[in-house]
Amino acid sequence: MANRTALQTFGRSGNPMFRRNAFQPDATFDETDSTQRMTLAGAVNKTGILLVLCLVSAGYVWNRFFQSSEPAAVNGLMMLGLLADS
Amino acid sequence: MAMVTVFKRQWAGLTAPAYALLQGLALGGISAMFEMQYPGIVIQAVGLTFGTLALLLLAYKTWFIKPTENFRLMIFAATGGIAVLYLVCFVMGFFGSSIGFIHSNGLFGIGFNLFVVAIAALNLVLDFDFIEAGAEQGAPKYMEWYGAFSLMVTLVWLYLEILRLLAKLRSR
């Protein structure tokens, strides 16, 4: 674990988000002091925040869908949601 | 928003939460439509998604699944293959055609869907490894958001595939 390099680890990731050598050292790596570095706990917390945000907006659309007798009422919101993948 | 995050990962602190909120809008609507057609399907899909997440996290932590170079290559190839197949299907859709078996609820359609679910689940292992190695290497703070974002992208994909699989099973 310890002696692997970031590039070895990330160079062949299957996740499309990781294909661009995400950890290739750039200027921001050198300028970063130790308190401003990534931690495992920080990433876990932020994943939790993203999950909650996603659940909140999903719950909002879900409620609108089932409260209105017209399912088309949420079409606009769903279209807006497609921006997520752009 | 996903593309912005990929190209400008320094902005992930803003774009990742925006992505999650927007994706929620789409997921809420899609889930509600599935729920209307197949009552109870959403809670099953959500449960299976988080169950898979927990199981894969355990498998990763106990080194039951090791993200070796070959493993990465295999998942990368399979994910790329699925992406190309979906893209071909999407383009064929414009011409009123489709690759029938992918969306069918026959044995082959369900088998294919199971394979996609497995690949999506194994992508989680790569996400865990990415986050852990990023922390080990002392990546900048914004990479916490980027790692969380990538995990969300995989989870959303996994959820949608499980939802589709359950719908196929119910429609038989």
Is the predicted pLDDT of residue B141 greater than 70, yes or no?
A: yes
Residue B162: predicted pLDDT: 97
Is the predicted pLDDT of residue A28 greater than 80, yes or no?
A: no
Residue A22: predicted pLDDT: 56
Question: Tell me: the pLDDT tens digits for A35-59?
Answer: 789 999 999 999 999 999 999 999 9
Distance CA A51, CA B50 (A): 11
Residue A64: is it exposed, middle or buried by C-beta count within 10 angstroms (0-12/13-18/19+)? middle
Question: Tell me: the pLDDT tens digits for B42-69?
Answer: 999 999 999 999 999 999 999 888 888 9
Average pLDDT score over residue span A50-79: 90
Is the predicted pLDDT of residue B86 greater than 80, yes or no?
A: yes
Whether A85 sits inside 8 A of B126 (CB atoms) is no
pTM of the model: 0.84
Mean confidence (pLDDT) of chain B: 92
- Bigger pLDDT: A13 or B99? B99
Residue B25: predicted pLDDT: 95
A85: nearest CA partner in chain B: B2
Is the predicted pLDDT of residue B97 greater than 90, yes or no?
A: no
Is the predicted pLDDT of residue B148 greater than 60, yes or no?
A: yes
Measured between alpha carbons, how far is residue B114 from residues B13, B100, B137 in Å? Answer: 34, 16, 35
Q: Is B15 on the interface with A (CB under 8 A)?
A: no
Distance from CA of B130 to the nearest CA of A (A): 7
Residue A24: predicted pLDDT: 57
Distance CA B150, CA B35 (A): 27
Q: Is B27 on the interface with A (CB under 8 A)?
A: yes
Mean confidence (pLDDT) of chain A: 75
Residue A1 pLDDT class (50, 70, 90 cuts): very low
Residue B75 pLDDT class (50, 70, 90 cuts): very high
Residue A75 pLDDT class (50, 70, 90 cuts): confident
Query: What is the distance of C-alpha A64 from the center of its chain?
Result: 25
3-state secondary structure at position B105: coil
Provide Rg for chain A, Cα atoms.
Answer: 20
Q: Is B46 on the interface with A (CB under 8 A)?
A: no
- The number of residues in chain A equals 86
Whether B134 sits inside 8 A of A23 (CB atoms) is yes
Domain chopping of chain A, boundaries? 3-28+38-85
Distance CA B12, CA B116 (A): 28
B50: nearest CA partner in chain A: A51
Q: Is B53 on the interface with A (CB under 8 A)?
A: no
3-state secondary structure at position B39: coil
* Dihedral angle sign, alpha carbons of residues B79, B84, B85, B87: positive
The number of C-beta contacts closer than 8 angstroms across A and B is 218
Average pLDDT score over residue span B96-110: 80
B17, A49 contact by CB (below 8 A): yes
Residue A31: predicted pLDDT: 56
ipTM, two decimals, is: 0.90
Burial B80-104 (b: 16+ CB within 10 A, else e): eebeeeeeeeeeeeeeeeeeeebeb
Question: Tell me: the pLDDT tens digits for B1-11?
Answer: 888 999 989 99
Distance CA B93, CA B138 (A): 45
Whether B148 sits inside 8 A of A9 (CB atoms) is no
Of the candidates A62, A37, A74, the one whose C-alpha atom is nearest the C-alpha of residue B36 is A62
Domain chopping of chain B, boundaries? 2-170
